[in-house]
Structure 1
Amino acid sequence: MILVLTCLNDATADMVIGHLNKHDAVVARFDPGADFPADAELSAWFGRASPYGVLTTRSRRIVLEQVRAVYYRRPTPYLPDGPSQVERFAGTQARFGVGEVLAALPCPYVSHPWAITAAEHKPLQLATARRVGFEVPATLITNSVDDARAFADRHGPIVYKPLRATPYTGPDGEPATIWTAEVEPDDLDDTISRTAHLFQARVDKTADLRVTVVGERVFCVRIDSDLLDWRQDYDRLSYTVIEPPTGLADACHAYLGAFGLRFGAFDLALTRDGVPVFLECNPNGQWGWLEDATGLPIAAAIADLLLEEAP
């Protein structure tokens, strides 16, 4: 059995499940944050080298010892918005009960949630990327306005990036996103002292690269646009499938190996000299739209990886 942990309306996971079904794999889909405890029951015993027991959902009876691989995609968070004390307690127990029983299964993950969590932090991403050989823009994380101004003087033009995506409401009351944005010298004022900020030298780029790595397979796409942050408007993007620049595939594999990941979605800026510069790696990033736009067989590669790694 291959276990897919994701939310109900995950079209990207559907693509992978479709390929698994073509191989007649036994697939169970489960969203622990949403399905448990109302629509699922778990009993797991300990006393052997790994947990054993049964997870029962509305449509499946999952014997834990029979799970051979896990695809960890986008499960619902265990804690609801604005929880009461009782909900917070129950959600925490579910996370450290159900979530950690599943994390303790001795089978391959694509990728393990603990590895994904570690790899989501930008400071560790940047340090690891530099260590394995990527070019990395000069970067400063600070709440010192003096150091921010000195950094801008030395490395300008500079950009600002949030350290982590955070729910944000715009002036019109609609959900909004803080994109990578260029910072003018006059923007660097005393409000910097209120929290940590990430400033980075702006890369003089000709294009962006999205490199999706699935196990040993590397899918490299050049993204052309007139945007600083291409995620702002997908309608203004054009895509070209290319071979990875020399050394890039090895650096990507070394990076993922450092975190114990089997998947990564790398974002890089391509300089005028053809050098890919590391910006970030999403350890559980989206790729479905890219397969639709380019025809790259990313879903099939993930399904193949799950089938290959299942002992």
Structure 2
Amino acid sequence: MTMSPPVLVVTQLDDATADVVIEELSRRGVPVARVDPADFPDTVIVKARVDASGLGGEIQTATRTVALDEVRSVYWRRPRPYAAPAGLDEQEARWCADQARYGLGGILAALPGAHYVNHPWRNRAAEYKPAQLAAAAQCGLRVPPTLLTNDVDEGRRFVAEYGPVVYKPLYNSDYTDPQGHALTVWVEEVAPQDLNAGVGRTMHLFQQRVDKVADVRLTAVGDRLFAVRIDGAPGLDWRRYYDDLTYTLIDVPPGVAKGVRDYLAVFGLAYGAFDFGFDSFGMWHWYECNPNGQFAWFPAHITSQITAAIADQLQQPDQDRR
């Protein structure tokens, strides 16, 4: 019996969001192979070739062998960083990791005919907040006044003019305390007197605070939009208060829906997790889009709908999913 073309899931082992999609694909009888680039070269073997017919060969994991030219779709989630074998000195390890990144990474990003959700290079391009802000405004989404600067005086002027203002990190880097505990930089309100010489040490993002009554997480899978109203957060950043939150599926206004779909087109994304603030007048204020955002923490009746939409994309990439 001939196996149908597989879906390749590029992620680490403990990824709850990928797990629910893999379970759904398996329930549908779709072959799935999971690969984590950090397992190369210890438990991942690559035999790739390029000739007049293009890229071919195979990739072997501890449990699967996948023909590179038969992959129907790639679900690019959250793989660990490329690594090197143990026992090498720092320079050799860095060299081997770079060869893996540009070798294996280049192969995984060039699978012939595969549909990507999302392509890793498009994910990377869509992670830059200034590009996000510019694209959202271009697409007609309501973007709060925002300042990007390393000038403390300019920051103070902006806070005085547009206050109340919040500070947001431009990228969620790994950050730990001296004991090795992971730390998170939350969205916080700032006053002019809070800004000091530290502003001059790197780029900062300041944004007018939205007078919101709720938050909205809108998950876009192709043309299918799943908007969830989030209530119950006692503070600015709802991610700090998961135990207090309630979730309600709501309709998406036509103007927001068009802006979201146009935004996906700008970056060439098949998936995006958009965050909005919802005010008392019913206006949606755009905050950001995570091109690889989580969704499996929603209640089951919401998670299952998003999971099915992603599985549809991966299972039938050539079909119109509108």
Structure 1 residue 236 displacement after superposition: 1.6
Amino acid at match of 1:20: L
The answer as to 2:153 corresponding to 1:146 is yes
Q: Which moved more, 1:274-283 or 1:181-190?
A: 181-190
Structure 1 residue 211 displacement after superposition: 0.2
Preserved contact between residue 256 and residue 262 of structure 1 (Cα < 8 Å): yes
Alignment of 1:73-84 (within 5 A): 73-79=77-83, 84=90
Closer/same/farther in 2, CA of residues 79 and 40 from structure 1, 3 Å limit = closer
The answer as to 2:191 corresponding to 1:169 is no
Partners of 1:148 and 1:13 lie apart in 2 by 40
Runs of 4 or more off by more than 6 Å in structure 1? Answer: none
Alignment of 1:113-128 (within 5 A): 113-128=120-135
Partners of 1:50 and 1:203 lie apart in 2 by 51
Deviations 1:242-272 (A, max 9, x none): 1112321211111011101000000000122
Correspondence for 1:102 = 108
Structure 1 residue 188 displacement after superposition: 1.4
Structure 1 residue 32 displacement after superposition: 1.4
Closer/same/farther in 2, CA of residues 171 and 87 from structure 1, 3 Å limit = closer
> When the two structures are aligned, how many residues end up with a matched partner?
310
Structure 1 residue 192 displacement after superposition: 1.3
Partners of 2:272 and 2:125 lie apart in 1 by 13
Preserved contact between residue 108 and residue 309 of structure 1 (Cα < 8 Å): yes
Amino acid at match of 1:100: G
Partners of 1:293 and 1:282 lie apart in 2 by 22
SS in 1 for 2:159: helix
The answer as to 2:276 corresponding to 1:271 is no
SS in 2 for 1:166: coil
Closer/same/farther in 2, CA of residues 74 and 274 from structure 1, 3 Å limit = same
Correspondence for 1:204 = 211
Percent identity of paired positions between Structure 1 and Structure 2: 48
Structure 1 gap segments, 5+ residues each: none
Closer/same/farther in 2, CA of residues 223 and 168 from structure 1, 3 Å limit = same
Correspondence for 1:16 = 21
SS in 2 for 1:193: helix
What's the RMSD between the two structures over aligned residues?
Answer: 1.9
Partners of 1:128 and 1:173 lie apart in 2 by 37
Partners of 1:135 and 1:294 lie apart in 2 by 26
Alignment of 1:159-238 (within 5 A): 159-170=166-177, 174-224=181-231, 225-238=233-246
Partners of 1:79 and 1:40 lie apart in 2 by 12
Structure 1 residue 290 displacement after superposition: 1.4
Q: Which moved more, 1:285-294 or 1:239-248?
A: 285-294
Preserved contact between residue 69 and residue 310 of structure 1 (Cα < 8 Å): no
Deviations 1:24-78 (A, max 9, x none): 1111111112x21010111211123531111112111111111111111111111
Structure 1 residue 115 displacement after superposition: 0.4
Correspondence for 1:308 = 316
Correspondence for 1:7 = 12
Amino acid at match of 2:240: Q
Correspondence for 1:26 = 31
SS in 1 for 2:13: coil
Preserved contact between residue 56 and residue 67 of structure 2 (Cα < 8 Å): yes
Structure 2 gap segments, 5+ residues each: 1-5
Partners of 1:168 and 1:104 lie apart in 2 by 32
Preserved contact between residue 264 and residue 271 of structure 2 (Cα < 8 Å): yes
Preserved contact between residue 296 and residue 303 of structure 2 (Cα < 8 Å): no
Preserved contact between residue 6 and residue 29 of structure 1 (Cα < 8 Å): yes
Q: Which moved more, 1:49-58 or 1:253-262?
A: 49-58
Correspondence for 1:299 = 307
Structure 1 residue 291 displacement after superposition: 4.4
SS in 1 for 2:207: strand
Closer/same/farther in 2, CA of residues 274 and 111 from structure 1, 3 Å limit = same
Q: What TM-score, normalized by structure 2, do the two folds share?
A: 0.92
Closer/same/farther in 2, CA of residues 293 and 24 from structure 1, 3 Å limit = closer
Partners of 2:166 and 2:246 lie apart in 1 by 23
Which of 54, 68, 84 is the equivalent residue of 1:64?
Answer: 68
